[in-house]
Homo-oligomer: A and B are copies of this chain.
Amino acid sequence: MGGAGKPATEEDAALRWAYRTMQTIRCFEERLHADFAAGKVPSSVHLYAGQEASATGICAHLGEQDYFHITHRAHGPAIARGADLKAIAQEIWLRAGGLCSGKGGSPHLHDARLKLVGANGGVGSGAALACGSALATRHRGDGGVVVCLLGDGAINQGVVAESFNLAAVWSLPVVFAFENNGYAEATGTAYAIAGNDIAARGAAVGMPIARVDGADYFAVHATAGEAIARARAGGGPSLVEMQVPRFFGHYEGDAQKYRAAGEVAELRRSRDCLVAFRERVLGAGLLTAAELAGIDAKIAAEVDEAFSTAAAAAPPAAAALLSDVYAGRI
């Protein structure tokens, strides 16, 4: 798996998959931003643009048996895991055909078949759930690993600290992958994280840690790969901290006054994972500009189709209000 049918053996296919994935996310989010501004999106959304290399570099390593726990900033990670673009869009539009049948919405994208585990409402709560997925996959002995995405804000939630310790005590195959985008809502990490060092919190329970530029796909790919391989080999949990830029607000509608003037422009200029990726693959002659342009065009069409499908799709049937509370009868 790993999304969009990547054949993991071929180097350039893998590169193409990575580019396609990141570009799909970017295109999806930019388009969503525009549609939101135009009043076309009927729900609250947190955009992932800028952070694409993180989920993509991780998902490149994940197979069918692996779990990927994501956060409220869900669209990009869901795309990277290979969830259906139309189903994602429909969930954002709160339609019956959405990933969660319109009951969850943008922050709760979840696809059980893909072992893509959606965010629950509490920041950081997923860290504990991830320990449970890890218990299960180890119990089955299927060689699975679990990657749990978390934001910088989550490092200050108690359950995350507890989960670090529990994962280490039980030596679980889980990687806590932090996307440090500098902000939890309107508050900067320099204020909220004493010591301003996410990885150090992991090191305190004896976990291996790594820090990586999350705008560099290749760096993320290498670092996440190492942590995932360690977990898969029975080496227990570890922590990866990725410094990522966030190109939009905390949620759409956020005036972002807490950011310095020009901050986003500068990030877009100097820390765009797609720009870096293109430079690298073109420079090394791995892919051609024409290939990339072809991919871009195809993606634009796909996103277009996903959005128009979603906009036109039917809402959930009234009966859905009462279904899915329990698996059994009650």
Bound: A137/B157 CA distance, A = 26
- A205 / chain B contacts, CB cutoff of 8 Å: 194-195, 201
Please give, as numbers and ranges, the residues of chain B lying within 8 Å of A204 by CB-CB distance.
Answer: 195, 197, 200-201, 203-204
Q: Is A169 an interface residue (CB 8 A)?
A: yes
Q: CB-defined interface of A165-178 with B at 8 Å, one 1/0 digit per residue?
A: 11011000000000
The contact of A191 among B156, B164, B169, by CB within 8 Å, is B169
Mark each residue of chain A from 181 to 200: 1 if its CB lies under 8 Å from any CB of chain B, else 0.
00000000001111101001
Interface centre among A157, A162, A194, A203 (most CB of B within 10 A): A194
Give the residues in chain B near A194, CB-CB below 8 Å.
164-165, 168-169, 205-207
| Residues of chain B within 8 A of A207, CB atoms compared | 194
CB contacts (< 8 Å) of A164 on chain B: these are 194
- Is A158's CB within 8 Å of the partner chain B? yes
A311 at the interface (CB under 8 A from B): no
Within 8 Å by CB of A162, from B158, B166, B191, lies B158
Per-position contact with B for A18-57: 1 when CB-CB < 8 Å, else 0? 0000000000000000000000000000000000000000
Query: Within the assembled complex, what's the spacing in Å between the Cα atoms of A168 and B190?
Result: 12
Contacts of A300 on B, CB cut-off 8 Å?
A: none
Give the interface residue-count category, chain A.
Answer: 20 to 34
The complex places the Cα of A168 from the Cα of B165 at a distance, in Å, of 21
- In the complex the two chains form, what is the Cα distance from A57 to B228 in whole Å? 47
Q: Which of B158, B195, B200, B206 contacts A158 (CB 8 A)?
A: B158
Q: Is A161 an interface residue (CB 8 A)?
A: yes
User: Which residues in B have their C-beta under 8 angstroms from that of A168?
Assistant: 194-195
User: Is A14 part of the contact surface with B, judged by Cβ < 8 Å?
Assistant: no
Residues of B near A264 (CB, < 8 A) are none
Give chain B residues whose Cβ lies under 8 Å from the Cβ of A200: 203-204
Q: Does A287 touch B at the CB level, under 8 Å? A: no
In the assembly, what is the distance between CA of A156 and CA of B200, in Å? Answer: 16
New contact pairs (17) apart from A156-B162, A158-B160, A158-B162, CB-CB < 8 Å: A156-B165, A157-B158, A158-B158, A158-B161, A161-B201, A164-B194, A168-B195, A194-B205, A195-B205, A195-B206, A197-B204, A200-B203, A200-B204, A201-B204, A201-B205, A203-B204, A204-B204
7 contacts between A and B (CB under 8 A): A157-B162, A161-B161, A161-B201, A164-B194, A169-B194, A200-B204, A201-B204
